[in-house]
């Protein structure tokens, strides 16, 4: 058959992409592949930064593929250059669902996102701010 070289790979691709449902009992290998595929699909789809007019506030906004928006906000006290407030704001469907002090892991993530995007000035500024806040070393 002249279509066999095309048909066989197409059938294999289709079989590999079949979604797993709760009613199916996948073999252990299929479960591992599904878990790897699901883990790889989660991530940031958009990231951006913004400064306030006087540069005291720096906000890094990260949008996940789930639609959740995480804002890493750092505010440098204008009266004391050595004081920084760091908070994390989580939004879902446009509404704030959580607002709290940033954790060291969240600070590391924000710094890595700035570095991976090539925002050298933002990377240095974020790192300095989080160091002043005592969240990273």
pLDDT computed for residue 22 by the predictor: 40
CA angle 135, 94, 85 (to 5 degrees): 20
Sheet containing 44-51: which strands, arranged edge to edge? 44-51, 57-64, 69-76, 84-92, 95-101
Cα 122 to Cα 101: distance, rounded to the nearest angstrom: 20
Q: Write down all domains in the chain, each with its CATH number in brackets.
A: 44-132 (3.10.450)
Mean of all residue pLDDT scores within the chain? 80
Residue 8: pLDDT above 60? no
- Asked whether the beta carbons of 126 and 111 are under 8 A apart, the reply is yes
* pTM beyond 0.85: no
DSSP bridge partners of 58 = 51, 74
Is a pLDDT exceeding 90 seen at residue 43?
Answer: no
pLDDT at 91 over 80: yes
């Amino acid at each position: 058959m002249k279509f066999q070289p095309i048909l066989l790979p197409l059938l294999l691709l289709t079989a590999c992409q079949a979604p797993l449902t709760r009613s199916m009992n996948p073999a252990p290998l299929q479960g591992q592949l599904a878990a790897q595929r699901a883990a790889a699909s989660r991530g940031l789809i958009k990231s951006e930064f913004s400064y306030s007019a006087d540069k005291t506030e720096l906000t890094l906004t990260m949008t996940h593929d789930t639609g959740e928006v995480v804002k890493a906000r750092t505010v440098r006290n204008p009266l004391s250059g050595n004081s920084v407030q760091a908070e994390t704001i989580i939004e879902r469907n446009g509404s704030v669902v959580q607002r709290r002090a940033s954790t060291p892991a969240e600070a590391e993530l924000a710094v890595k996102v700035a570095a991976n995007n090539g925002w050298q000035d933002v990377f240095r500024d974020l790192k300095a701010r989080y160091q002043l806040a005592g969240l990273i070393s």
